[in-house]
Amino acid sequence: MSSLVSKIKDIEDEMARTQINKNTMGHLCQLKAKLAKYKRELLLDAGPKGGGGGEGFDVRATGDARVGFVGFPSVGKSTLLTSLTDVFSEAASYEFTTLTCIPGIKYWKGAKIQLLDLPGIIEGANDGKGRGKQVIGVARTCSCIIIVLDAMKSLSQKKIIERELEGVGIRLNKTPPNIVVKKKERGGLNLAVSTRLTQLDEDSIRTILAEYRILSADVRINCDATPDELIDVIEGNRVYMPCVYALNKIDAISMEELDILDAVPHYCPISSHHKWNLDGLMDMVFDYLNMTRVYTKPKGQMPDYTAPVIIRGTEIPTVERFCKKIHRQLINDFKYAWVWGASVKHNPMRAGKAHVLKDEDVLQIVKKL
């Protein structure tokens, strides 16, 4: 592992020394591809090898979504979990109070959200320092990440944490690039570009593919892609998830400083100790999770507004997805549905399985006889 870390360090130093221009584009793309390969090998080498290295981090996923607290030690993650849930997470004035993953449950707007208080990470966590590997490994399984920042410290902490997460393939507040790489046995490279590329050219694309020993493939690029995005698609192990930056301890700064911090995108000012704006934080997390709540209505009865069916993710929330969420065999008996809510022109309206639902719709399923 030490040799891999040294190779990664050498490549990063060489990239820092290399000037960025058209003549060095191919060389930089090759270095970036090598860097991604070494980091992938480093992740594989850091897997559990006996001895219970992951003890305390094997928390079973439950609920409609999973949200992890990531941040440096002593920024208030444990206090935040205790303030949001009934779970006690030890908090103290010294660092590394939390040594394992502590779960809690928060019910918000009908959704059951699992919150995970993760131990503090340090710079170099993605290279194996501290217990950073286990922490970031759990973070990859989350639906959303809350990066907890200390309002009294420099915002450089934000960039360090982002770099650590980027290093293990977590892409924050990004969508997968519209790139398709289809390998084939022969025929050479067939490159199709539907838009103007400002950060890539054909030679650099071939250089990146050659580093991965891809000599024959159909490559289709439908966006102004960067070398990193092309490498992400080739690697195929990237995780794209929403992220909220919780700026904690705002009770210790002035209003003028808070106005300056307001320019940070995707941020929410809170005070976990005084329980300030925690509702605003949960509202923001709920919006970022992209949840669609659908209420069920049995025939001849009132709708059940206590336990909505949650459809989450980037896929379109159709009636078919709702049926599969209830039971995978229900779609086979599906005849049609009655829908009340914002997705229909009049209430109720008969709809098929391809009908797209909206948040807080009411649905009644009619089965085949």
Q: Report the alpha-carbon distance of residue 337 to residue 348 in Å, rounded.
A: 10
Is the overall model pTM greater than 0.85, yes or no?
no
Pairing of strands 267-269, 111-117: unpaired
Average pLDDT by stretches of 10, the chain with 369 residues: 79 88 86 87 59 56 91 87 80 54 90 89 58 76 92 87 87 93 90 90 91 92 92 91 93 86 88 92 94 92 91 86 90 94 93 94 92
Task: Give counts: helices (H), strands (E), the chain.
Answer: 10, 16
Helix, strand, coil content of the chain in percent (nearest 5): 30, 25, 45
- At 7 the pLDDT is 86
- At 139 the pLDDT is 86
The tokens for 329 are 């065999």
- At 94 the pLDDT is 44
Q: Give the CA distances from residue 18 to residues 5, 11, 33, 34, 104, in Å, rounded to whole numbers and listed in that order.
A: 20, 11, 15, 15, 47
Helix 202-211, helix 25-45: angle, nearest 10: 30
- At 3 the pLDDT is 81
Q: Report the alpha-carbon distance of residue 113 to residue 310 in Å, rounded.
A: 11
